[in-house]
Amino acid sequence: MNRVGVDIGGTFTDAISISSDGRISTSKSLTTSGRLADGVVNAISGLELASKEIDYFVHGTTAGLNAFLERRGSRIALITTKGFRDVYQIGRANRPDMYNLKYQSPKPLIPRSDIFEMNERMSPEGETILEVDLKELESIAGRIEGKFDAVAIVLLHSYKSAEHEIQVEKFLSKRLPSVLVVPSHQVAPEWREYERTSTTALSAYIAPIIDEYLLQLGKKLEEIGMRAPIRVMQSNGGVMSASTARAKAIQTLFSGPVGGTIAGVEIGKKLDFDKLICVDMGGTSFDVSLVIDKKADVESQTELQGLPILSPTVSMHTIGAGGGSIAYLAGGALRVGPRSAGAMPGPACYGRGGSEPTVTDANLFLGRLPQIAKLGGNLPLDSDASQRALDSVGTQLKLAPEEVASGIISIVNAAMANAIREITVSRGIDPRDFSLVAFGGAGPLHAIAIAEELELKSVVIPANPGVLSAWGMLQADTRHDQVLNFYSLLHEISLPQFEEALKKLRVQSKEILDSESIPVNLQEFRPAVDLRYVGQEYTVTVEWSDEWSVAKALAELPNMFEAEHLSRYGHNNPGESIELVNIRMSALGLNGITSEQYLPESETKSEEMVYPVYFNKEWTDSKIIQRDQVKIGGSVAGPAVILEPDCTTLLHPGWQAKVAVGGHIVISRSI
């Protein structure tokens, strides 16, 4: 039997299968814009497996994220408590870009005219002050009917008691069966009205898109005879069933990129690397995430284009920089990205009608992507088309194609290095303490240049780097995160009440795992709390072992919080009063399968080739090596280009690569 993972990128859709005996096969197909399910089926077909032989299928989807970024989500209505209609419109008064005279607050997804008030009220303690008026609700339903695809329900203090939201949800689901209803207590049961409203609105905005996509994908997979249920990668680094994904669409936003981070966790364990910077460079974007102490860096709150999201998410920074990023002139200067050539027409060298120069065209012309390479294993490259595209810009700048191509590479490398600084230096983290894990179709081409820019000592090119995100999805556990508001000074917490709250969360978490048929012996629970100093606005999440007694956890939490605060912010205030805001519970369904990642070693030895590659303003003879020719323990000295079907690795002069356990390449400076 086989486990199959599929990741949709901006240019390619990647598929990987792992058989029961550990054998790996990979496939790439061009992403079919507007028909994403077709690209998934094409990629699966490329694995050349009988559909009935697939017993586990996990998928990372960009359907929701793309719908949001392109602002083509569903039309949604918002129902809120009377007097709080403008919470979502006002947002926060902070100014993130304080020196930008033209700064504009993020535009809400719901106009004020589509926000409806209800004359109900719940107290901050979760007690009913004013009951839900069903006649008023009927009037609102009449105004919504036929005009909206989804409804977000955000009633005051529903994080303490969801009774009123449940009433409204049941009424609307029965009264408007064709409209998706998304209540905040299912999406973000946390305090902070604006953030909770923003999260629920965003979930409702993409929910119909996700629902339609998963239904369409399910039908396509049924047509090819696949019986394995669809599992979807979550933003928090776990997987969930398709039915759960429909209910919690917000958790699919970063579904695709997160797979690479989880792969980084597994690679860190295999190679015994504690700190990794994971970079995924595909055709359209460049995603950066961190692995710290062999764990993915997960945050309880993030934001997307200025809109806050209260949902556990692997911390990630994304910019528009990929192999398909287009170079152009603006104000007489050369710029690169974020506009991309995508899959169609793609870079000029694809031969599909593209005429603008891209990063891929620059790499091809400079010999860094050799003419003999075939992208995705079967796509030939046209170097003459690349030169024509580069000349279209070079003639205006009066520069030779080598200068234009080198400029494009330098610009995109600087942008990617800055993206890494954004997620490290800006948070007080020194990137020099980390190793770089580079993957995606274009990541290994630029890895060493980025490492030199950031003064990193080592680079890891994983086995199967071109489809690593898909491989990472197959390593992920099922995961569901629950949160319960529990406000108290830490030293005043009632032990019985705290125990009761933890028990409640654990029961809820176990019910979810049981509903997804996770065996008891593979269930794991990780309790945590959100803590802050009195007077602070935001919290730090502290996790402890589920094996500890509740009394031990409460005794240890102050010291754990102090240490975490010092690690994250570079300072702490020992002895100050600490507040507990939320209790959290991560419920894991361990996949229970270890799949060794390796590269098959070729039995036949290919003839060594030498091609000119442009380094440091001159053409340098460089070895061209097939990756399967280098055995585990073997090494390669730069300058060299290492080829494989899924991607190309560029080895600069002064760097040496060694194939480590699992087929991963570890690159370090040789001089």
Closest CA relative to residue 242, chosen from 233, 250, 449, 527: 233
Helix-helix angle 255-271:468-475, to 10 degrees: 80
In percent, the amount of the chain with pLDDT more than 90 equals: 61
Spacing of C-alpha 640 from chain mean position? 31
Average pLDDT over residues 17-37: 81
Question: What pLDDT does residue 603 have?
Answer: 58
Mean pLDDT, range 377-393, rounded to an integer: 85
Strand order in the sheet with 115-118: 115-118, 76-81, 150-154, 180-183
Is the pLDDT assigned to residue 9 strictly greater than 60? yes
Alpha-carbon distance values, 573 to 257, 528, 529, 534, 543 (Å): 36, 21, 19, 11, 20
Question: 352-373 b/e with 16+ CB inside 10 Å = b?
Answer: bebebbbbbbbbbbbbbbbeeb
CA distance 304 to 106: 10
The pLDDT of residue 602 = 54
Site of tokens 């995430």: 289
Closest CA to 307 of 369, 250, 239, 242: 250
Residue 275 scores a pLDDT above 80: yes
Tokens of 299: 């945050």
| pLDDT tens-digit series, residues 141-164 | 999 999 999 999 999 999 999 999
Q: How far apart are CA 218 and CA 231, in angstroms?
A: 11
Query: ω into residue 345 within 30 of 0, thus cis?
Result: yes
Mark residue 235 as left, alpha or beta (left: phi above 0; alpha: psi -120 to 50; beta: remaining).
alpha
**Structural domains of the chain, with CATH:** 2-68+211-252 (3.30.420.40), 73-206 (3.40.1360), 478-589 (3.30.1490), 609-669 (no CATH)
pLDDT for position 2: 86
What is the average per-residue pLDDT within 18-47?
83
**Residues 578-602 pLDDT 10s:** 999 999 999 999 886 655 554 455 5
* pLDDT > 80? residue 258: yes
User: What is the reported pTM?
Assistant: 0.86
DSSP three-state, residue 505: helix
For the cut 60, the answer to whether the pLDDT of residue 293 exceeds it is yes
Mean pLDDT of the chain: 90
Over residues 452-469, mean pLDDT: 92
3-class secondary-structure state, position 610: strand
Mean pLDDT within 217-245: 90
Mean pLDDT calculated for residue range 133-147: 95
Distance of CA 356 to the CA centre of its chain: 29
pLDDT (0 to 100) of residue 601: 54
- Record the tokens describing residue 603, joined without a space: 């039995």
Indicate if the pLDDT at residue 378 is higher than 80. no
Secondary structure (3-state) at 5? strand
Instruction: Give the max Cα distance, the chain.
Output: 81
List b or e across 326-340, with b for residues whose CB sees 16 or more CB atoms inside 10 angstroms. Answer: bbeeeeeebebbbbb
187, burial (CB in 10 Å: exposed 0-12, middle 13-18, buried 19+): buried
d(CA 615, CA 652): 8
Per-residue model confidence (pLDDT) at position 377: 54
3-class state of residue 476 by DSSP? coil
Lowest mean pLDDT among 5-14, 228-237, 356-365, 469-478: 5-14
Which residues, at least 6 apart from 232, have a Cβ–Cβ distance to it below 8 Å? 58, 59, 60, 61, 214, 239, 240, 241, 242, 244, 245, 252, 255
